[in-house]
Chain A
């Protein structure tokens, strides 16, 4: 934890520059996760490229969410969870002692399985992150950030005339796009999405998928999905997990047309999972 704010700002700037350089933006090295005695993830090694969408697929319980939650240290919130190995983001091991999870999560945002807008107005939902991190100082600037985020999330046209209405009043698909707007309002480099469409109907799902493709321009996206069609539609890279192991990863096309491992082939042809 950094107590000194000057130091923390310097750190943020360092991280910023490192994030803007080339090469893989995230490197997972020998990541293992334990829940108490039980090991849920076994020595996962996986790199993520900038401005690409990577899908994590695999049968349920194989550790996709567990791995995703390692990347912004949400597993810290689970008392019994223990993470081994390194995750390097911008040349910095995020599990090192001096890492501030607050700063980390400002750079690595997250969208959850079930839409979870705060019981606040649409405006306040989007403004929540910028207010916490004080990235915005004036009301005009905040208005601008809220509008830009809602536009990027493809929600602006539907809600621009009722920003003061509660976010829970929107439909499920709109709520999820609101959560995406909320996550990108602080301009993270990476957005993690854990089955973001599993609670949505097919039409809302299509809208969100299209959105994910647009967001790729600015953000690096890692998405957990149980739908292989979705993985094929939205992602450039795909990683297949099975029983806590990373079995195979590579270009989405290659994984789906020419899988190297039997387990991958069995899964994508519907024989397991």
Chain B
């Protein structure tokens, strides 16, 4: 009797469950335990952010925090004036963050998109094979390096060219930090957009070329319009990483909480303030310290929302062409 027949011998359930042995269960357990650790840590961090933020809002009204235009936690720390209104107004930090991120995206969008279009559509395999890793090396540079690049190279350059033109520009400016940050996110924009452009199906290019369009026309009129949603998603992701970036702004943007949209002035950002609030010895129940948690939660919500929206857009885009 062959092996096949014996399995289906009368009276034996051919579909009987077989023992998979101890190995499988053990591996499953380890995998589940590891994912649980990751999930629990995340939940824990979010919870502590939320609880400390609630404690902060017991001392400082939430509306003062969200809409106050004056930020000076140092004065608030001195006796008697704890939580005095106006000292914890986050608006200057938020505008500072947005101003710098905006400058960064103004730099990163054209540079990143242009290099993505070039790499994806026009570069030959040779150029591509060394240009792409080179570009991705930019992403591997630690942000502290961009920070001192901004503080020691870009900022003095801006100040010197400013004074040559008769302007007085402070050595710490939103512009310097924004430029460095923009260069930092170029690889992110270009590699995400490159993926998006590559996932525009070849059949659309064939259709356009088959109608007698040139390669350039095809890129301009078919490939890029088809890739717009995905590119928008990748720009959002880059924005979110710019908003959360810390090191560059700590080193180049300054600490002064100016409420301004002037890129030549020093501004400060949410991340910078969190760093300065929490470095050194701190009491953990003063409004000053707790305000860092409120800022942290705020940042978390913003970047999470941006990431979720961006990933939704990008995934929707990819599905459309599967």
Contacts and interface: CB of A to CB of B under 8 A. Distances in A.
Contact of B206 (A116, A117, A120, A132): A116
Contacts of A116: 201, 203-204, 206-207
Residue with the greatest number of chain B CB neighbours at <10 A, chosen from A74, A106, A132, A182: A132
A116 B204 CA distance: 6
Contact of B211 (A77, A103, A132, A168): A132
Interface stretch (A107-115, A212-220, A250-258, A264-272): A107-115
Given A105-B210, A128-B208, A132-B212, A118 B217 contact: no
B208 A110 contact: no
Interface in A181-207: 182-183, 186
A66 interface: no
Given A105-B212, A186-B211, A118 B226 contact: yes
A186 B201 CA distance: 24
Interface residues of B, number: 18
Nearest to A72: B210
A105 B211 contact: yes
Interface in B185-240: 201, 203-204, 206-214, 217, 221-222, 225-226
Contacts of A118: 204, 207-208, 222, 226
Interface in B240-293: none
Main secondary structure on A side of the interface with B: helix
B212 A102 contact: yes
Given A112-B203, A114-B203, A116-B203, A102 B208 contact: no
B221 A128 contact: yes
Contacts of A77: 206, 209
A150 B165 CA distance: 62
A11 interface: no
A124 to B, nearest CB: 9
Main secondary structure on B side of the interface with A: helix
Residue with the greatest number of chain A CB neighbours at <10 A, chosen from B203, B204, B209, B222: B209
A224 B242 CA distance: 53
A114 to B, nearest CB: 6
A101 to B, nearest CB: 8
B211 A109 contact: yes
B232 to A, nearest CB: 14
Nearest to B213: A132
A212 to B, nearest CB: 18
Given A118-B226, A119-B225, A119-B226, A129 B203 contact: no
A179 interface: yes
B208 A105 contact: no
A105 B207 contact: no
A110 B204 CA distance: 13
Nearest to B207: A116
Contacts of A183: 210-211
Contacts of B207: 112, 116-118, 179, 182
A153 B27 CA distance: 60
A117 B217 CA distance: 16
A112 B205 CA distance: 12
Interface in A89-113: 101-106, 109-110, 112
Nearest to A79: B125
B222 A109 contact: no
A122 to B, nearest CB: 15
Contacts of B204: 116, 118-119
Contacts of A132: 211-213, 217, 221
A74 B203 contact: no
Interface of A: 72, 74, 77, 101-106, 109-110, 112, 114, 116-120, 128-129, 132-133, 168, 179, 182-183, 186
Given A116-B203, A119-B320, A129-B212, 14 more contacts: A74-B209, A102-B212, A102-B213, A102-B214, A105-B210, A106-B211, A114-B203, A118-B204, A118-B207, A118-B208, A118-B222, A120-B225, A182-B211, A183-B211
**What are the 7 tightest A-B residue pairs by CB atom distance, in nearest-first order?**
A105-B212, A110-B210, A116-B203, A106-B212, A129-B211, A116-B207, A102-B212
22 contacts: A72-B210, A77-B209, A101-B212, A102-B214, A105-B210, A106-B211, A106-B212, A112-B203, A112-B206, A112-B210, A116-B206, A116-B207, A118-B222, A119-B225, A119-B226, A119-B320, A128-B213, A132-B212, A132-B217, A132-B221, A168-B320, A183-B211
